[in-house]
Structure 1
Amino acid sequence: MKYYGETQNTIELTERVEMSNSNKLTIIQMNDSHAYFDLHQEMFWEGDHAVYRKAGGYARIAALVKQIRAVSPNCLFCDCGDTFQGTFPAQKTQGKALIPILNSIGIDAMTAHWEFAYSPEVFQQRVAELNYPMLAINIFDKVTNKPVYPSYIVKEVGGLRIGLVGLASNIIDKTMPPSFSEGIYFTLGKDELPPVITILQIVEKVDLIILISHLGFPQDLKLLSEVQGIDICLSGHTHNRLSEPVLIGKTIVIQSGCHGSFLGRLDVELNDGQIIDYRHQLIEVKANTEPDPTVEKLVKEALEPFNDLLTEVVGETATALNRGTTLESTMDNFLLQALLESTGAQLAFSNGWRFGAPVIPGKITLNDLYNIIPMNPPVSTVELTGEELRAMLEENLERTFSCDPYKQMGGYVKRCLGLHVYFKIENPAGQRIQKIFIGKEEAKPGQYYTAAFVTMQGVPEKYGRNRKNSSELVIDAMRKYLSSHHPLSAELRGTYVVV
């Protein structure tokens, strides 16, 4: 396979891609849209600071896809997953509110991750309602050991035979609540991929193999360095905004942000089964994009039952709330401040979730609170020793920063308040933390500390004693906190310090 083209990030959507008279294909990628039905705030870095502007929405995505297809009819539109979870309407309907919308925007195939939040059984119901396939080479039934989903499909596009292979997130049965993987198990896919590649090449005689992956960008790069034969990898899970593709050997890798704020476009030219040219564009789904009227109507119908509830103003913030930073985030500081005040605990923990659209300074609505934590779990408490605290944080740091991408199994660093952690990011597993301070005192290995948390990802069940769920749900705790702290301040505190 040969590559002659350079990445072109300035291609206009209406520009016809000029290539030689051989076979051409356009691939559109959506990943990690997290059920953001309509326009929402998105964060962008400019120099030394963040700016915010509205982006996204499935009606605008549909319009852009139609524009691209009008110019490049040989086109595939693939979804890398994290689509059915992330907002209140999706959570309340277990993803069902999305079905008419997703079925109308022309997706060819998908894979999954947070889709299993409603249980594998419910997700099977959603998949049966879709007009395109869910693909996963690495999900198996615990009883029969048979694949739960098709590993691949072959699509005929403009005379080309394209093999689409799905690779779901492999961490679902390892780091997420047990209900997510009831009756099924997940593998990395490394062993299952080569035989399927052989089938596609020899039996199906495809011209191109595209991997639709939700492993994560670092994981995909390692996998592709070990498994040959994938031509294009559409990567998901880690919310990377790649303005240029990455080449791993002969494989082109792209990833396209999150929240449906971006689409990835990759135009390739083939000759005798070889990619001889390619161009790429990371497309911002801008607010001024004229929405597709059919999909816009479907979005309004899906959101209408929830509008009165979600538009309620519940507070005001002076701090821009976002999850755009790895070690600590203003959005989670707000969440943790509410946990501390609700419980009177010394420490507070939540998971390092990546999803959650920013909240800009000004009014906070109930919709904003559900975007922060759509699951609305109970506020929980536990007692942890200093030794358990260190072990839990070391485990989390390894899952975030492991030099082996296959051992990276989390989002960002676990969100914490009430302590300060000094650590060396480059040290091996179990040896990163130099000091932990609770207040002004160093944490004592045998001493117990009270901690508030949400979900088992905040404090895994193997840690601590006297674990309790309170009667208060976290949305109520955040509302109560806002009622006595206006405007809200939730600035970064330097909880983690890299030394």
Structure 2
Amino acid sequence: MTKHPTDCNCGCNEPLSQEGISRKDFLKTIGTAGIGLGISPISSMALWEEGKTEDILKSNLVQSGKVQHISLLHTTDLHGQLQVHDEFFLENDRVVYKKRGGFAHLKTLISELRMQNPNSLLIDGGDCFQGSGVASLSEGKALIPLMNLLNYDLVLPGNWEVAYGKQMLLHDLGAYNARKVCTNMTHDATDPEFLFPPYQIFYIAGVKMGFIGYNDPLTPTRQPPAYSYGIKFIKPEINISKYIKILRDQENCKLIFVLTHMGLTQQIHLASQEYTEGVHYILGADTHERIRQPLQAKYAKVTEPGAFGSFLGKLDLIIEDGIIKEESYQLIEVDPEKYKADEEMAAMIQEVSKPYQQKLNRVIGKTKTPLIRYYILETPMDNMITDALMWKFTPDIAVSNGFRFCPPLNPDESGTANITVDFLYCMLPSNNNLILAEVSGQQIMDWLEKELENVFASDPAKRFGGWLVRFQGMKINFTIAREYGKRVNEILIKGKKIDLKKNYQIVSCEREGDPKNLICRIKNVNKITRLPNLIHDVMEEYLAKHSPVSPKLEGRATATDAPANLLTQANGLNYEFR
């Protein structure tokens, strides 16, 4: 069994009570689930508008020295994106691309914010060392010195932190200088010892603050099962009230925060349950949502600060006698024009990337249209991937998972953008074998109903994983607001209505640890064949023959009650992804 060394940095060998310094109104039918939870935007507390930090600093309470000003700086879902990259924005219902992110620019922003308020705590919500070429080829090790240079105070593992297995999870996170927290990952069913401390305590400006943390308990289902071998995940409802009580009653914490990597709708659901009473904020992650105004649920407020290092969430709190008197939240864009590159970080990125640059910088194709993965129903990026599978193997249906990671790639003034091996790793970090199988029309129908339930369940706690599964060779139409098992209106395969009694060939990527008779979560398939081809090789062959490509939305997946460019599950909450 994997145990931590006595000199590891995860915090497991320290006392658990450790203290130190430290599209607007559509889809209302589905949105009623959120409204029923009592969710609303925070409105009346003093300083919610963006850019009001100066007002806080100038307030009479702060100037008098009678209160404490604390800043929580929050990143998440960095996905190994070390360099400045294209980023997607929605402005006046128009898609706009801007250059954002980059660790060297993020470092400058963080340094400036810490100078503005030394009473700052830097937190990361997980999914850091998966999602790029350097991250994949180094199994996360290249990210360690970069995260340490950013000088995080506290980190939570995300669902993709298991990508290289339990040993590498413990190695990579264990090498972070930051404290770790995770209240729902233990070694296995026979050893209930936590992988990381279940809570952490910080004294900041004399205020005692407690943190607990939850990775998505559905990780072993979301990710290939082999990734999580030797790890047991616990649902928050099993123990969250216990640790809230410990922090509040035994440790006498004045403020309690929950770091989560569960997705916005699950986090709002959690913040609305009675067992979460006593928590001030849920600092969320996983769905890459861009919360600009925290959402107020029944028992706690919820934030989520985007992804890829394109944004940083900043929560400013004015505390008097252990009570929050004023608060302000900003979602700050990491604009490389505004925040110049930190020279030390830039040099370190160059150093850790050098062993992989020759491989990763190779151009394997070009695109004339933006490659984007933000849309929930269908994306140009995944249309290209499934087009490649269809071209290579000519099955009835080619399938790819509904991933969220990978920033966009937008053509420049020349009209094209280079697709490199690095971008291939961003799209598909795991270079898996392909598998071919035979499934019945009824199996396809049942599978699609389950996939739709995973994304659009009326119960937010049942929504998990990425966005809708992606495919070529098939078109589906559905109604989101209907109940499970009754959403699908029509399925066409190769232009013909599906025959529930007919067998169809399907090709998809292998998931390590899946049963031999399962493909892409379709159970009991027949005539399954593990192909010798790797997905990266297929993509390179396809791009070599078809570049420049021009993937776009084609109506492969359409809903009667949502637009093709649907960007969030969290509807009805006075929130818009932009």
TM-score when normalising by structure 2: 0.83
Partner of 1:359: 409
1:172 — aligned with what? 219
Q: 1:439 Cα shift?
A: 2.3
Match of 2:290 in 1: 241
- Alpha-carbon distance between aligned partners in 2 of 1:107 and 1:30, rounded to the nearest angstrom: 10
Indicate whether 1:495 and 2:495 are aligned: no
**What do the CA deviations read for 1:84-130 (whole angstroms, capped 9, x no partner)?**
10011111111100000111112111112200111112111112211
Report the alpha carbon displacement of residue 12 of structure 1 after superposing the two structures with TM: 6.8
Aligned residue for 2:392?
A: 342
Give the whole-Å Cα distance in 1 for the aligned partners of 2:421 and 2:215: 32
> Which range is displaced more, 173-182 or 232-241?
173-182
Mind listing any 5+ residue stretches in structure 1 that lack a counterpart? none
Q: C-alpha displacement at 1:135, in angstroms?
A: 1.1
For residue 455 of structure 1, report the CA deviation from its aligned partner.
3.5
Cα distance in 1 for partners of 2:500, 2:384 equals 28
1:134 aligned partner: 180
- Corresponding position of 1:26: 71
Q: What code does the residue aligned with 1:56 have?
A: G
Letter aligned with residue 484 of structure 1: K
Residue number in structure 2 paired with 1:10: 51
The residue identity in structure 2 corresponding to 1:295 is: M
Aligned to 1:464: 525
The aligned residue for residue 546 of structure 2 is 485
Q: Deviations over 1:42-80 (max 9, x none)?
A: 111123332212211122111111111101111111111
| 1:180-191 matches, cutoff 5 A | 180-191=227-238
Q: Distance in 2 between matches of 1:52 and 1:145?
A: 47
Residue 115, structure 1, aligned to residue 161, structure 2: yes
- Give aligned-pair identity as a percent: 30
| Larger deviation, residues 253-262 vs 458-467 | 458-467
Report the counterpart of residue 432 of structure 2 in structure 1. 377
Provide the rounded CA distance (Å) in 1 between the counterparts of 2:204 and 2:335. Answer: 29
Q: What are the superposed Cα offsets for residues 296-319 of structure 1, whole Å, 9 maximum, x if unpaired? A: 221111111122221111111112
For 1:306 and 1:92, the matched residues in 2 are separated by 8
Amino acid at match of 1:74: N
Q: CA offsets per residue over residues 210-256 of structure 1, 9 Å max, x none? A: 11110111111111111211112110001110111111235232111
* 1:321 and 1:360 in contact (8 A); partners too: yes
Residue in structure 2 matched with residue 323 of structure 1 by the alignment:
373
Cα deviation for residue 31 of structure 1 reads: 0.9
Structure 2: state its 5+ residue gaps. Answer: 1-42, 561-578
Q: CA deviation at 1:19?
A: 5.6
Partners of 2:494 and 2:360 in 1: CA distance:
37
User: Aligned partners of 1:468, 1:3: CA distance in 2, in Å?
Assistant: 60
C-alpha distance in 2, partners of 1:182/1:232?
31
Q: 2:5 maps to what in 1?
A: none
Q: Distance in 2 between matches of 1:193 and 1:486?
A: 51
Is 1:154 the counterpart of 2:215? The answer is: no
Secondary structure class of the residue paired with 1:101: helix
* 1:146 alignment partner, SS class: strand
Per-residue CA deviation, residues 15-57 of structure 1 (Å, 9 max, x unaligned), is 9464613122100010111111111111111233322122111
Aligned to 1:259: 308
Against the structure 1 CA distance between its residues 137 and 495, is the aligned structure 2 distance closer, same or farther, given a 3 Å change threshold? same
Considering Cα pairs closer than 8 Å and 6+ residues apart, tell me whether 1 or 2 has the greater RCO. 2
Q: Deviations over 1:389-443 (max 9, x none)?
A: 1111111100000011111112110011111111110111111111111123111
8 Å CA contact 2:443–2:522 kept in 1: the answer is no
Runs of 4+ in 1 over 3 A off after TM superposition: 11-19, 455-458
Task: Measure the CA separation in 1 of the matches of 2:322 and 2:394.
Answer: 64
1:84 equivalent in structure 2: 129
Q: Distance in 1 between matches of 2:146 and 2:462?
A: 35
Look up the match of 1:212: 259
Cα pair 1:13 1:68 within 8 Å, conserved: no
| Match in the other structure for 2:459 | 404
Aligned to 1:103, what secondary structure does the other structure show? helix
Equivalent position of 1:143 in the other structure: 190
Task: Kindly state the Cα deviation for residue 368 of structure 1 after the two structures are TM-superposed.
Answer: 1.4
Give SS of 1:28's match: strand
Aligned to 2:192, what secondary structure does the other structure show? coil
CA distance in 1, matches of 2:404, 2:380: 13
Matched, 1:274 2:336: no
**How far apart are the structure 1 equivalents of 2:346 and 2:44?**
39
1:415 alignment counterpart: 470
| Conserved 8 A contact 1:347-1:451 | yes
Moved more, 5-14 or 393-402: 5-14
Kindly indicate whether residue 475 of structure 2 is the aligned counterpart of residue 441 of structure 1.
no
Q: Counterpart amino acid of 2:286? A: H
Alignment-mate amino acid for residue 83 of structure 1: C
* Cα drift, residue 3 of structure 1: 6.6
Moved more, 472-481 or 42-51: 42-51
Does 284-293 or 23-32 show the bigger shift?
284-293
Matched to 2:300, the amino acid is T
Over aligned residue pairs, what C-alpha RMSD do you find? 1.8
1:201 to 243, 248, 266: 248
For the residue of structure 1 that corresponds to 2:211, the secondary structure is strand
* Residues 313 and 15 of structure 1, relative CA distance in 2, 3 Å threshold: farther
Cα distance in 2 between the residues matched to 1:134 and 1:3: 34
CA distance, structure 1, for counterparts of residue 78 and residue 84 of structure 2:
12
Q: Following the alignment from structure 2 to structure 1, what is the Cα–Cα distance between the partners of residues 94 and 429? A: 28
After alignment, is 242-251 or 84-93 more displaced? Answer: 242-251
Larger mean Cα displacement after TM superposition, 424-433 or 467-476? 467-476
1:399–1:408 Cα contact (<8 Å) kept = yes
Q: Give me the whole-angstrom Cα distance separating, in 2, the residues matched to 1:62 and 1:159.
A: 26
Paired with 1:270 and 1:473, the residues of 2 have a C-alpha distance of 55
